[in-house]
Amino acid sequence: MKTRIAVLFFLAVSPCVVLFAQPPDRADFRITNGVLVEYTGNKTTLVIPADWGIIAIGEWAFIECRDLVTLSLPAGITNIGNSAFSGCDSLVSISLPAGVTSIGDGAFYDCYSLASISLPAGITNVGNSAFSGCDSLVSISLPAGVTSIGDGAFYNCYSLTSISLPASVTGIGSGVFEKCTSLTRITIDPRNKFYASRDGVLYNKTETVLVQYPAGREEIRYSIPAGVTSIGSAAFSDCSGLTSISLPAGVTSIGDSAFSLCSGLTSISLPAGVTSIGDWAFYKCGSLTSISLPASVTSIGDSAFSDCSGLTSISLSTGVTSIGDWAFSGCSSLTSISLPASVTSIGREAFSYCNRLTSISLPASVTSIGSGAFFLLQPSYFDKPARQCYQHWEWTL
């Protein structure tokens, strides 16, 4: 009798113990053929039972579950679907079971509160934008089996300070560490056959392609080593502390967004071998006042120099044939530009909002001018063909 009274007393004063032992309400979940398709509850803590037989977390299953703080997933799950936890901005902790092999595109996109996560040893693929916008993420450990890291996988993880890549990695997408403005070092297992790290900067194995310069480094000048022939997409993006970058002879290609948002960059010299300047390559380099393009350059990408508000002059080489859409849009300090006789096409809004541009001469070689190419410029600033261009929304000779 005393034992029974004691048990009843314990239950009466400790209801939290009983509640903790209870599984979540299955009515809050939609599960189809072992795939957790949707969660509709508002719990802050979830422990999903193993006996539910879940083998995968479906696309958007927990999207924008803003109340969810901690989540424990059962053994047996092998796949985390695209955008599975996207927008779970209160999520602090998640336990991934050992069987998970793949993390889908945008799986943890904008999980602002996630400060760290441990990936199980079986993970082989980290999808595009998988952890993009996880701005509290300070550290992440990539297991030895990871082979591919998708485009923008850690985009805008601005609290991430360092990362180590295993020997197994064979493919790294574009912009993987773009806007990781606290990142100071990228290291890679020396046994990796595809990539190498030199002083914390990521290159391909032969060190001919500079893949990523960590944006959080404190140096103001950087000399790219000899042998590099290509600057990868977003390789120096958001390196606001750099004022000067030296490129070696032999560089032929500058990738998309390669130097975008380098707001402190005042000086860069492009070597004679460069043939193309990618889209957004120098976007919003506001401190860059002048730049000279070598004769080898044949094309200037879309928005290549857009919003370079400090750019007062630019010298285009005689080999340039095309100027991309918005190439110099918003270059509000640009006062003059000379287009070489080789130019045949000028893209949409290429010089729009260049409201200080007082002189421009179009060569006879120009056959096409995109819509709004000189938007907000005065017709009197141009020679006769340019006035025709200004007066017509789109002009083709």
HEC states along 129-141?
CCCCCCCCCCEEE
**pLDDT for 269:** 86
* Residue 190 domain flag: no
User: Is 232 in contact with 254 (CB distance < 8 Å)?
Assistant: no
What are the residues facing 72 on neighbouring strands?
Answer: 47, 95
Tell me the residue range of the domain where 342 lies. Answer: 316-397
**pLDDT for 46:** 96
**pLDDT for 294:** 92
* Residue 56 domain flag: yes
Give pLDDT tens digits for 184-235. 999 999 999 999 999 999 999 999 999 999 999 999 999 999 999 999 999 9
**pLDDT for 1:** 46
Residues 320 and 178 in one domain: no
* Residue 226 domain flag: no
How many structural domains are present in the chain? 2
* Residue 278 domain flag: no
> What are the helix (H) ranges across the chain?
2-13, 15-21, 384-391
Domain boundary residue, one of 163, 183, 203: 183
> What is the pTM for the complete model shown?
0.86
**pLDDT for 222:** 96
- Contacts of residue 123, defined as CB under 8 A and 6 or more positions apart, other chains included, come to 100, 101, 102, 103, 142, 143, 145, 146
User: How far is residue 375 CA from its own chain's centroid?
Assistant: 30
CA proximity to 47, closest of 17, 16, 23: 23
Q: With a cut of 70, which residues of the chain have pLDDT below it?
A: 1-23, 377-397
* Residue 251 domain flag: no
Residues 28 and 172 in one domain: yes
**pLDDT for 289:** 93
Q: Percentage of the chain surpassing pLDDT 70?
A: 89
**pLDDT for 22:** 57
**pLDDT for 12:** 46
Q: At residue 173, what is the residue type? A: G
**pLDDT for 176:** 96
* Residue 224 domain flag: no
Domain boundary residue, one of 167, 183, 199: 183
User: Is 214 in contact with 180 (CB distance < 8 Å)?
Assistant: yes
* Residue 366 domain flag: yes
User: Is 118 in contact with 100 (CB distance < 8 Å)?
Assistant: no
User: Is 203 in contact with 212 (CB distance < 8 Å)?
Assistant: no
* Residue 210 domain flag: no
Residues 322 and 177 in one domain: no
Domain boundary residue, one of 161, 183, 205: 183
Residues 177 and 320 in one domain: no
Domain CATH code at residue 365: 3.80.10.10
**pLDDT for 397:** 42
